[in-house]
């Protein structure tokens, strides 16, 4: 059994739980930050492995990560969209090349500290929300394929974060009180500085216009704005204005009243289905359009292109191209896709 080790409380406690269950465990850690000089994660992971007396392997995936995650991350911003790098990283890196490496070392499974559950249901592997609804991470794992789900374990899926902290204290783990990791693992500071370091030229200023096309002010570059944003627009108006669209062709940020940022439906591409093999007819679901959003009643419909339309019962605020929409039935993940457009 391989465990993806970061040295944090979640992965450390996952090791402890699996050892208690009698598994033969070793740790695997991946280096992904380009030109990294700070080896804090690798050192913390090594210390965790030493604490448990288990083997530990470190893999250098920096070049692969740059190609498969950072390049699309930058390109998504250039298209006037807002990326979610975790959604890409999980199938391509953590449960892609790292899983392959772990299996190559003789493991049958790769375990991680995600708060989510996987099980066999009939002929399919299915993904369920974690027991801790505040920590549930199924949203960022919707893109895992059947062949990946067949070789993964999530030991923390049935616990709350509070219970894991308490278990870590009982196990005497040095990471028991360690704080949560940062949101984007490969960006230590301001994402604007990071983007500028990868772009041939910095984002160009342009017009901020209202929904009628009237110029209201100037923006500093499309990547610095996202759908639904209200603060930091630098324009004065009699009513609150929100970003309702980003137009890379005209290099414009379009703003309007809150109702202009509402959408009844969306079209998703790069669809991955988990609980069902195909979507052949409309299906009633609960849908999430961002990690921290609540799930809303919706209907999903297959399109001839292979894309899927999501039609909400009530209009949703700030449907954002580049983000993911994930569909649920109760605690079961039906699947999800990348939001291409508000429809």
Radius of gyration for the chain, computed over Cα atoms and rounded to the nearest angstrom: 21
User: What does the alpha-carbon distance between residue 192 and residue 226 come to, in Å, rounded to a whole number?
Assistant: 13
Q: Is 185 a catalytic residue?
A: yes
Residue 256: how many CB atoms within 10 A of its CB? 17
Instruction: List the one residue out of 327, 296, 300, 326 whose CA is nearest residue 311.
Output: 300
User: What does the alpha-carbon distance between residue 289 and residue 317 come to, in Å, rounded to a whole number?
Assistant: 9
Instruction: List the one residue out of 145, 161, 228 whose CA is nearest residue 13.
Output: 161
Catalytic residue among 185, 235, 260, 276: 185
Catalytic residue among 89, 110, 254, 318: 89
User: What does the alpha-carbon distance between residue 176 and residue 191 come to, in Å, rounded to a whole number?
Assistant: 29
10 Cβ contact partners less than 8 Å away, ≥ 6 residues apart: 113, 114, 115, 156, 164
User: What residues does 102 pair with on adjacent strands?
Assistant: none
Instruction: Report, as residue numbers or ranges, the catalytic residues.
Output: 89, 185
């Amino acid at each position: 059994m391989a465990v993806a080790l970061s040295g944090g409380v979640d992965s450390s406690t996952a090791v402890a739980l699996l050892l208690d269950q009698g598994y033969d465990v070793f740790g695997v850690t991946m280096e992904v930050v380009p030109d990294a000089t700070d080896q804090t994660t690798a050192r913390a992971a090594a210390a965790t492995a030493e604490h448990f007396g288990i083997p530990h392997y470190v893999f250098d995936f920096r070049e692969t990560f740059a190609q498969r995650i950072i390049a699309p991350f930058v390109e998504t911003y250039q298209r006037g969209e807002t990326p979610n790098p975790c959604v890409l990283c999980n199938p391509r890196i953590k449960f892609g090349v790292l899983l392959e490496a772990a299996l190559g070392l003789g493991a049958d499974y790769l375990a991680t500290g995600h708060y989510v559950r996987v099980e066999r249901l009939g002929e399919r592997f299915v993904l369920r929300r974690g027991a801790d609804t505040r920590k549930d991470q199924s949203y960022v794992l919707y893109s895992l394929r059947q062949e990946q789900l067949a070789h993964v374990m999530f030991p923390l899926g049935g616990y709350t974060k509070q219970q894991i902290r308490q278990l870590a204290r009982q196990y005497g783990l040095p990471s028991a009180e360690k704080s949560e990791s940062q949101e984007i693992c490969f960006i230590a500071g301001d994402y604007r500085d990071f983007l500028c370091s990868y772009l041939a030229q910095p984002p160009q200023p342009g017009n901020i216009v209202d929904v009628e096309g009237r110029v209201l002010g100037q923006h500093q570059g499309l990547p610095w704005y996202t759908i639904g944003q209200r603060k930091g627009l630098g324009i004065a108006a009699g009513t609150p204005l929100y970003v309702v669209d980003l137009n890379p062709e005209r290099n414009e940020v379009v703003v309007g009243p809150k109702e202009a940022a509402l959408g009844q439906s969306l079209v998703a591409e790069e669809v991955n289905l988990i609980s069902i093999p195909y979507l052949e007819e409309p299906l009633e679901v609960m849908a999430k359009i961002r990690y921290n959003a609540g799930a809303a009643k919706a209907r999903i419909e297959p399109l001839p292109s292979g894309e899927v339309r999501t039609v909400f019962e009530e209009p949703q605020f700030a449907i954002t191209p580049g983000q993911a929409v994930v569909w649920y039935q109760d605690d079961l993940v039906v699947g999800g896709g990348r939001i291409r457009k508000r429809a």
